[in-house]
Amino acid sequence: MLGILYLVVPCYNEEEVLHETAKRLLQKITGMINKKSISEKSKIIFVNDGSKDRTWNIIEELHQGNEIFGGLNLSRNRGHQNALLAGLMTVKEYADMVISLDADLQDDVDVIDKFVEQYYEGSDIVYGVRCSRKTDTFFKRNTALAFYKLMNVLGVNIVYNHADYRLISKRALEGLAQFKEVNLFLRGMIPLVGYKHSVVEYERNERFAGESKYPLKKMIAFALDGITSLSIKPIRIITGLGFTIFIISLITLIYTLVRKFSGNVVEGWSSLTISIWILGGIQLLSLGVIGEYIGKIYNETKQRPRFIIADKLIDSDKKYI
């Protein structure tokens, strides 16, 4: 029996590229249906993440023209991870397997066949992994490498050079649905689901049109979210640092007393000033890290919805090809 494939594509202000994205994805899905590799019930679902341009209007037009296209319209902008999760949690009721990819055509749609092949061979999760970073700037390439290494040091199980281009089976999505946290970092959460997984390598393309939705500021915030959402090692590092400073302070105290009682006391402010600045900086940094975790705990305890769907365009019981 052929599996039902759904493509989930988060969109934020993608009017410049959406028609071309829809065209290429339709060609790919149509070809796979004709080759009998996926079911005729397969679909392409765009998730509008509170776009300020005509993105949702274009999604509606695409749906009216060919109902293989569907859409979800979030009530407001909730960020890429929440928009992606909204799509995944909605379509898991209809699909046997779901592939998530970006709307900017940087993810190579030609490897979708390989994703599906891996699924039929028994993989519940198939990660799309970049085989090179030739299209990245020197800065982005090296900061990305540093991020992956840091996550690994902090004990986070994350796939190198993998973004959010992946296939997930229905049962893996059911497993993901049991993760209730509000602070989302899907690249780290999905490996926690378990099940058999595999990797498909691909070359990442240049963005077809428009501007990146992840400038440096957002990339840094995203990295911090990933670290603090999936690892408590920064807190443990602070604990170790505090213990180390406590030991040093005891040694310094003993040394000072010995010098005092021996009558060899030297007046000076340099060592005192340096100590104050170092300890003050460490304390402020530690408070910042602790505050980041407390803020996340605060968000989790409120249990607010991760997304609200305002409009839904999915006709799951029909065949359109």
- pLDDT value, residue 81: 85
Element (H, E) at 265: none
First to last CA, the chain: 18
- pLDDT value, residue 290: 74
Q: Cα(185)–Cα(231) distance, rounded to whole angstroms?
A: 11
Superfamily assignment of 5-211+305-313 in CATH? Spore Coat Polysaccharide Biosynthesis Protein SpsA; Chain A (3.90.550.10)
From first to last of its 321 residues, the chain has per-residue pLDDT tens of 788 999 999 999 888 889 999 999 999 999 898 898 889 899 999 999 888 889 999 999 999 888 889 999 998 888 888 888 889 989 988 999 999 998 888 888 889 989 999 999 999 999 888 876 666 666 666 666 776 677 777 666 777 777 788 899 999 999 888 888 777 777 778 888 888 889 888 887 665 555 555 555 666 666 666 666 666 667 667 767 766 766 766 676 676 666 666 666 556 545 665 566 667 667 766 776 777 677 667 666 666 666 677 777 876 554 443
Q: Cα(319)–Cα(300) distance, rounded to whole angstroms?
A: 40
Q: Let me know: does 49 contact 74? Beta carbons within 8 Å.
A: yes
Residue 261 identity (one-letter amino acid): F
Which of 196, 37, 202 has its CA nearest to residue 125?
196
Q: Cα(69)–Cα(133) distance, rounded to whole angstroms?
A: 31
User: Domain residues of the chain, as ranges?
Assistant: 5-211+305-313, 233-302
Q: Cα(113)–Cα(117) distance, rounded to whole angstroms?
A: 6
- pLDDT value, residue 9: 92
Q: Cα(165)–Cα(162) distance, rounded to whole angstroms?
A: 7
Model pTM?
A: 0.68
- pLDDT value, residue 135: 61
- pLDDT value, residue 277: 60
- The upper half-sphere exposure of residue 250, i.e. CA atoms within 13 Å in the direction of its Cβ, equals 5
Positive or negative: CA dihedral 19, 306, 187, 291: positive
- pLDDT value, residue 228: 63
- pLDDT value, residue 253: 63
- pLDDT value, residue 140: 66
Contacts of 26 (CB under 8 A, 6+ apart): 44, 66, 68, 69
Task: State the DSSP string of 51-110.
Answer: -SSSHHHHHHHHHHH-TTEEEEEESS---HHHHHHHHHHHHTTT-SEEEE--TTS-S-GG
Q: Cα(306)–Cα(295) distance, rounded to whole angstroms?
A: 16
Helix (H/G/I), strand (E/B), else coil: 306: coil
Q: Let me know: does 118 contact 200? Beta carbons within 8 Å.
A: yes
- pLDDT value, residue 98: 93
